[in-house]
Amino acid sequence: GQNIDQPTEMTATEGAIVQINCTYQTSGFNGLFWYQQHAGEAPTFLSYNVLDGLEEKGRFSSFLSRSKGYSYLLLKELQMKDSASYLCAVMGGSTLGRLYFGRGTQLTVWP
Amino acid sequence: DTGVSQDPRHKITKRGQNVTFRCDPISEHNRLYWYRQTLGQGPEFLTYFQNEAQLEKSRLLSDRFSAERPKGSFSTLEIQRTEQGDSAMYLCASSYRADNEKLFFGSGTQLSVL
């Protein structure tokens, strides 16, 4: 089976840094994705990791350790608009493009 | 490029009725996916197409559900004899192999079965 685990909720203040962790156990691994989803809207792509290490993209960075089955999403210089659900998803198994999602981490950014 | 579009955005129906949703993927994307999302959960895979061929179906997709992609472009998802448990957001996504199969999602169809 596939298991993707991430915290349910996190809070932080504007301007701060927050790290959202994700652990996974999947049969097969073809990459790990992070998506952002605002309430009532579609998930939007944030990052993709397939090799170990850190990928940086502006205020967002994502890290992957395949041996540990672990990833994190790092958000810097938090803004109010970053309040959203952050979904960790693993492309595993034999079907490229089929994603196994965690339940999402609801991040609330306070002024 | 207008992104992935879904229609309708919202659908309210009575239990036992049939409903059909439409998805138009990004034009150059040959893979199309349907996911379902309930409140507080991540999206769950339902089925996917490569061009017009339906290559995989989840066990979540009961016999009441059918999906088509007749010309390898738009897709429809039909639910027959809807049940209250079918109430969810139905998300369509498309991807392109050369872009690491990164999924682009539509805004979804929110189904409420009364």
pLDDT band at B109; cut points 50, 70, 90: very high
Mean predicted confidence (pLDDT) in B20-46? 93
Q: Which of A36, A56, A90 is nearest to B101 (CA)?
A: A90
CA distance A36 to chain B (A): 11
Instruction: Look up residue A79 and give its amino acid.
Output: Q
Sorting pLDDT into bands at 50, 70 and 90, what band is B1?
A: low
- Give residue B98's pLDDT band: very low, low, confident or very high (50, 70, 90): low
Which chain A residues are within 8 Å of B94, Cβ to Cβ?
Answer: none
- pLDDT category at B100 given cuts 50, 70, 90 is low
- Averaged pLDDT for residues B42-53: 92
Residue B75 has a pLDDT of 97
CB contact under 8 A, A104 and B42: yes
Give contacts of B102 with chain A, Cβ < 8 Å. 33, 45, 48
pLDDT of B70-82, one tens digit each?
988 999 999 999 9
pLDDT of residue A58: 93
CB atoms within 10 A of CB B40: 10
pLDDT tens over chain A, length 111 residues: 689 999 999 999 999 999 999 999 988 888 999 999 999 888 999 999 999 999 999 999 999 999 999 999 999 999 999 999 999 999 877 776 788 999 999 999 999
How far is residue A24's CA from residue A26's CA, in Å, rounded to a whole number?
A: 6
Contact: A103, B56; criterion CB under 8 Å: no
CB pairs under 8 A between A and B: 58
Instruction: Kindly list the distances between the CA atom of residue A74 and the CA atoms of A56, A71, A82, B73, in Å, as whole numbers in the listed order.
Output: 9, 10, 12, 37
Q: What per-residue confidence (pLDDT) applies to B99? A: 62
The one-character DSSP state at A8 is S
Q: Which pLDDT score, from 0 to 100, does residue A49 have?
A: 95
Cα–Cα dist A13/A9, whole Å: 14
